[in-house]
A and B are shown apart, each in its own frame.
Chain A
Amino acid sequence: MDLDYDFMISDLPTVLAGLPKTLILTFWSMLFAIAMAVVFGGLILSRVPILKQSVIIINTFIKGVPLTVQLLFCYYAVPYVAKGCNGFLGYQYNPRHIPYFAAAVFALAANFGAYITDVVVSSMRAVDRGQYEAADAVGMNKFQGITHLIIPQAAVISIPSMTNYFIWLLKGTALASIVNVVEMLTTAKISAADGYQYLEAYIDAAVIYWAVCAGIEFMMGRFEHHIGFFMRQPESRVRPISS
């Protein structure tokens, strides 16, 4: 088997041009996923009757259905939804421009939102019980304690898991290529079609995915190390100054 190395190198910029679309898709999906996770997680943690159970049922449903199925479902459902939304908030339905991008964001956000809900819940629960008690003891009400003390600590605790899901999501956007969203993988596929050099183009894509993911993981690791030093065990960082 001979790989066309010249094509592989010359095709790299072409494939790379699809990266912004992948990143944008990842960004919007992650944003909505986190928003959903915070709301759902809040409902679970505050034990709102009925709503809590509903959230748990919705999440098990989302987690129990393959992401591919959800993407395909949204792909086929979006024309109907878009048609129904015609005129709503100034939106004009145009059968030539079905909002497939929004449909992909919706499917990805719902799927990852269900998983990230667990991250939100477990991070909040991972904050030391004593912190809640200390907040009570200085006379804070629940809201004050949660906003000033618990959420800042839970956010730091959640960084490693959030980073994992972000990377997983970034790779998950490749699936959006099956529902008409031109992201990096689709760009690679199109560029390869002329000379049937798919293997070369996909290797390019794989290298770029790997480089971006490794870069994000490294950066988030540094970020967590920097911002989260106060959550670490004392032995691991600073030697206490004896009094």
Chain B
Amino acid sequence: MSTQKASTNGIVITLHDIHKTFGEHEILKGISLEVHQGEVLAILGSSGSGKTTLLRCINALEIPASGTVSIDGQKIDYSQKHSRQDVLHLRRKTAMVFQSYNLFRNKTALQNVMEGLHVVQKKSRDEARQEARKALADVGLSEFEDRYPVQLSGGQQQRVSIARALALKPSVILFDEPTSALDPELVSDVNEAITAVAKTGVTMIIVTHEIGFARRVASQVVFVDQGRILERGTPEEVIDHPKEPRVQAFISKLSYK
């Protein structure tokens, strides 16, 4: 519950030497990261580089083989035994926006946002409803609160999903390629909503293919390649003047589209 801001020099998230294997295949080969309070970190990389896996390791949707994840004072060392409760406590520091929205299909837009507040954070229905309405208003969907996901367009669903994440008031919001499943004309709405969220000072980590969007919204960028961080820095450094040839090739290929 208590989100002590700036607990350790304003660092909210620390990943240390994260390894992850699927069978024989090593997806993450020792990744370390620090994210400061209010920072927007963009994770770039080609398909199969491990960037989505990295994001899912942060909220333990994938359990790393080894390494430590610490979010806002909640820490798990995966080389040691950890309980289901530890995972739950860590996860509750985070919220996630999925590539395929994953709204609860049996709930209306409003109920989708309320669910975590009421069921997980144990707020009263009235309080949860009030906060959920505010979050829906923030993404411009107040008039759609009684609609079910099937009655909403992809862009609207993704904005509800952003509201759902936002309402939880997590220490960090994780975005897993939030616009890659959308029709092109709906992308800008969602990007605008994300930018608006970023401006409120919420810490965010965004996995994305959209270099232009990352350039605008991110304060830090890391480039992941073959399970390692190849380059990191500000958007100017990594996107405008990449040092690594691999990164240069990637950026130039995408910007010619």
Residues of A participating in the B interface, judged by any CB pair closer than 8 Å: 128, 130-131, 133-141, 144, 148-149, 152-153, 156, 229-234, 237-238, 240-243
| Residues of chain B within 8 A of A136, CB atoms compared | 59, 61, 91
- B149 and A230 contact, CB distance less than 8 A: yes
**Which of B28-36, B123-131, B152-160, B233-241 lines the interface with chain A?**
B152-160
| Residues of chain B within 8 A of A140, CB atoms compared | 116, 119-120
Q: A240-B151, A240-B153 are in contact. Are A139 and B100 (CB under 8 A)?
A: no
Complex CA gap A240/B153 in Å reads 5
| Residues of chain B within 8 A of A139, CB atoms compared | 88, 91-92, 116, 120-121, 168
- A229 and B116 contact, CB distance less than 8 A: no
Interface of A is mostly: helix
- B116 and A149 contact, CB distance less than 8 A: no
* 23 A-B contact pairs sorted by A residue (CB < 8 Å): A130-B102, A131-B104, A131-B105, A134-B98, A134-B103, A136-B59, A136-B91, A137-B94, A138-B116, A139-B91, A139-B116, A139-B120, A139-B121, A144-B119, A149-B106, A229-B150, A231-B105, A231-B150, A232-B150, A240-B153, A241-B153, A242-B153, A243-B156
Complex CA gap A243/B140 in Å reads 10
Chain A nearest CB from B174 CB (Å) reads: 8
| Residues of chain A within 8 A of B156, CB atoms compared | 240-241, 243
Chain B nearest CB from A217 CB (Å) reads: 24
| Residues of chain B within 8 A of A238, CB atoms compared | 150-151
Residues of B participating in the A interface, judged by any CB pair closer than 8 Å: 59, 61, 84, 88, 91-92, 94-96, 98, 100, 102-107, 115-116, 119-121, 148-156, 159, 164, 168, 186, 189
Complex CA gap A130/B120 in Å reads 18
Cβ-defined partner of B115 (8 Å) among A138, A141, A233, A241: A138
Closest residue of A by beta carbon distance from B141: A243
| Residues of chain A within 8 A of B105, CB atoms compared | 128, 131, 153, 230-231
Complex CA gap A240/B159 in Å reads 14
Chain A nearest CB from B185 CB (Å) reads: 8
Chain A nearest CB from B53 CB (Å) reads: 14
Q: Give the 4 A-B residue pairs with the shortest CB-CB distance, closest first.
A: A138-B116, A240-B153, A130-B102, A139-B92
| Residues of chain B within 8 A of A234, CB atoms compared | 150-151
- B152 and A240 contact, CB distance less than 8 A: yes
- A138 and B186 contact, CB distance less than 8 A: no
Complex CA gap A242/B154 in Å reads 9
- B59 and A137 contact, CB distance less than 8 A: yes
Cβ-defined partner of A243 (8 Å) among B59, B150, B164, B189: B189
| Residues of chain B within 8 A of A237, CB atoms compared | 150-151
Closest residue of A by beta carbon distance from B148: A230
- B152 and A148 contact, CB distance less than 8 A: no
Complex CA gap A228/B103 in Å reads 16
- A133 and B98 contact, CB distance less than 8 A: yes
| Residues of chain B within 8 A of A138, CB atoms compared | 95, 115-116, 120, 164, 168
Complex CA gap A128/B120 in Å reads 21
Complex CA gap A130/B97 in Å reads 11
- A131 and B148 contact, CB distance less than 8 A: no
Complex CA gap A137/B97 in Å reads 9
Chain B nearest CB from A233 CB (Å) reads: 7
| Residues of chain A within 8 A of B155, CB atoms compared | 243
- B102 and A134 contact, CB distance less than 8 A: yes
Complex CA gap A232/B150 in Å reads 7
- B102 and A131 contact, CB distance less than 8 A: yes
Known: A133-B61, A230-B149, A233-B150. 7 other contacts (CB 8 A): A134-B98, A138-B120, A140-B120, A141-B84, A144-B119, A230-B148, A241-B153
Chain B nearest CB from A131 CB (Å) reads: 7
